[in-house]
Amino acid sequence: LVYPGEGPNNVVNKDRRGELFYYMHQQLIARYNCDRFCNRLARVRPLTSLREALPEGYFPKIVRSFTNRAFPARPQNTILRDLNRIEEDVVLTINDIERWGSRIAESIDGGYVVAPGGNRIPLDEQTGIDVLGNIMEPSALSVNSLYYGNYHGHMHNLIAYSHDPENRFLEGYGVVGEFQTAMRDPAFYRLHAQVDNMFHRYKRTLQPYNSNQLGYAGVQIQSFGVQLNRANAPANVLLTYWQRSQINLSTGLDFGPEGNVFASFTHLQHAPFTYRFTVNNTSGAARRGTCRIFIAPKVDERNTPLTMDEQRLLMVELDKFRVNCMYSYRPDC
């Protein structure tokens, strides 16, 4: 794991760890919602209530390679229940998760979190998102794990064990309980849409960025566009098409035929293209910066144009790279 939740401080305490927990999952939800729009589906609904039936069922039909046991299924309209799996040290109640969520929301609205000794740690613009991310995940860096609990992690457990909450049938956890498989389950996106909303609640308490924070003194982007990697290709016209590919499914299936097993699937593909942008450096010296390129949908599932505020939450980072910009130099990348 790149970001383990526990371990030596020099392993766990990486730069902006909590912030990156937020950003990575926010990007997953943004991309998922964009894909839903493409299939004429509305945005994913946050899992705001743990006491309502979960309409999304999931039947994975895959096995854990290290145990050779199939992941359990979850029927439609499953009712989430308190967990009492003593052998695995997974004992929690829905009340616990609701209480932790309320405490986190209260701290966001108040602008500070409470340390074990009662000290207030501000959720400011510089470090607040990092503090909140470490609480929400949580990791060993949580400022007060006894008070704020395990909001995100135990929501995963609540869904992962919903088919056998008391271990009566000796069934293991579902796919949403394991890092490698969690994103297969549609309930994963409902769970993280709810977590994402908590972070946006915090973001709304901050002042908007000013021009100095958003700008880069002496450096201006003059133009930006894309172009296909072919002669005489028009600017800002991309080519997409359907492509049929094969994937090796030899591991992970719940049956074992002789030889490899390949599955064919059709997916969207694009012709190679190049970013082209012109940067003007008038600072009087060579400058270095980071270029980030995002893509966002123009319309929703009903073909209704999206506002900039709506697009803001749907921006997907396509690329990120460093740029060396010499004085009066205009790189063509």
Cα Dmax for the chain: 72
280 by Cβ neighbours in 10 Å (0-12 / 13-18 / 19+) ranks as middle
Q: How many CB atoms within 10 Å of residue 84?
A: 14
How far is CA 217 from each of CA 248, 285, 322, rounded to the nearest angstrom? 51, 11, 17
The helix/strand/coil state of 318 is strand
> CA 29, CA 252: separation in Å to the nearest integer?
26
Question: What φ, ψ does residue 226 adopt, rounded to 5°?
Answer: -130, 155
Q: Out of 137, 166, 178, 310, which one is annotated catalytic?
A: 137
| Cβ neighbours for 236, distance < 8 A, ≥ 6 positions apart | 225, 226, 227
> CA 106, CA 121: separation in Å to the nearest integer?
14
Beta bridge partners of 270: 240
Rg value, the chain, Cα: 23
Cis status of the peptide bond prior to 55, with omega within 30 of 0: no
Q: Which two tokens stand for residue 265?
A: 């699937």
Is 137 assigned a catalytic role? yes
Question: What would the 3-class secondary structure string for 18-87 be?
Answer: HHHHHHHHHHHHHHHHHHHHHCCCCCCCCCCCCCCCECCCECCCEEECCCCEECCCECCCECCCCEEEHH
> CA 254, CA 73: separation in Å to the nearest integer?
13
* Active site residues per annotation: 137
